[in-house]
Structure 1
């Protein structure tokens, strides 16, 4: 498989990148983003592109992918709904529309979040916008669309969050998460779980569309090769 990852510098993206590089059936991992990921590997190719809303200059490098793992996102804290829609909905759909004609047999995996509002009518702004984004992706004729809704994620293997608040909070919560995760694995995931589940979604290319934490955990445990 050839895998395209957006958001590889974030916590989820870092974990997904690690698992993709370790997977024997992945021949190449292409990371697309505004900044370098700071890693090197034989299977890793980086495309640094300043304007992800316009991919026309790099179209020739964006074809023949088995899957796209869209891990790019921002916190809604302190943002207006207009700005959050522009980044969350606008950028995701802009990238998806650019990739679709170049990769009609692609599996598109989008990282949403627990609590996403599929009705688009709830009181929570970020949940409505995520729901709108999910619904739009489901309406696109990719080979398959998977919507990941993880809740609590424990970073492993040196993965770190880009969000300062999370970086400060994780060391305090680490002892509790480490104890609780084996007891409730379908509630607390690891970056390893999420990465392996995404790869299995790409391998399967069909099945469930919306995956909550428990579904992500189950998919991560399957042996799909």
Structure 2
């Protein structure tokens, strides 16, 4: 694809979404970025448009504003820690599928990139509930009539310096990143690499639908 792309980013008030949005805003390959947030993200940029919308289970009030985009980088989600299985299902599977179906209807030629996670189980038979739910979400997204669907499965993500929404967990163990990257490259990528790989999934493409850590790094460099 030679033309510049227009992308939608969800979850930009979280660490991953903010980092992906940051890469889109600084990329010459991206002409416009739309973020959908429950509250203002506080970022201003000539390429950026923000829609404030509280209910991701009902996108009908803003549906007409979601047309005309080449890609959605879906970075919205919750941790499985401290939430019930029912809530995790609702905010991981049901919310993602509702948003994806709405976007697919508006943009049938869209590439949909879903932030999943290392350890996700495509067979949906794992003893880990979160891994089964993520696997089901990936599988059902790939059944939708998008141009392309990619599931990104990063492990440890090194935050981008200077951004607002870095998890404290990552701040305290960043020192371990070079060691982990050397010993287990597939489990360690930077947020910059993740964002660049998502952009490249639209502009360059990848033969794989599921991108593990090393795939993410390779696509970012392509």
1:217 aligns with 2:214: no
Cα drift, residue 180 of structure 1 = 4.3
1:206–1:143 distance in 2 versus 1, CA, 3 Å: farther
1:146 aligns with 2:150: yes
User: Counterparts in 2 of 1:1-225, with a 5 A limit?
Assistant: 1-161=5-165, 166-167=167-168, 169-181=169-181, 185-205=185-205, 207-222=207-222
CA distance in 2, matches of 1:207, 1:36: 36
Unpaired runs of 5+ residues, structure 2, are none
Cα drift, residue 158 of structure 1 = 1.7
TM-score by length of 2: 0.93
Q: Could you tell me whether the CA contact under 8 Å between 1:33 and 1:52 is conserved in 2?
A: no
User: For the aligned residues, what is the CA RMSD?
Assistant: 1.5
Q: How many residues align?
A: 218
Cα drift, residue 10 of structure 1 = 1.1
Cα drift, residue 205 of structure 1 = 4.4
Secondary structure of 1:110 counterpart:
strand
Comparing 171-180 and 91-100, the one that deviates more = 171-180
Q: Could you tell me whether the CA contact under 8 Å between 2:118 and 2:187 is conserved in 1?
A: no
CA distance in 1, matches of 2:133, 2:184: 29
Cα drift, residue 178 of structure 1 = 4.0
Q: Could you tell me whether the CA contact under 8 Å between 2:154 and 2:213 is conserved in 1?
A: yes
Q: Which runs of 4+ in 1 moved over 4 A?
A: 182-185
Secondary structure of 1:5 counterpart:
strand
Secondary structure of 1:27 counterpart:
strand
Secondary structure of 1:47 counterpart:
strand
Cα drift, residue 131 of structure 1 = 0.5
CA distance in 2, matches of 1:184, 1:81: 31
Q: Could you tell me whether the CA contact under 8 Å between 1:30 and 1:45 is conserved in 2?
A: yes
Give deviations 1:147-197, integer Å, cap 9, x for gaps.
0000000102223546xxx40x33331222245436654431111000000
Q: Could you tell me whether the CA contact under 8 Å between 1:33 and 1:48 is conserved in 2?
A: yes
Secondary structure of 1:208 counterpart:
coil
Unpaired runs of 5+ residues, structure 1, are none
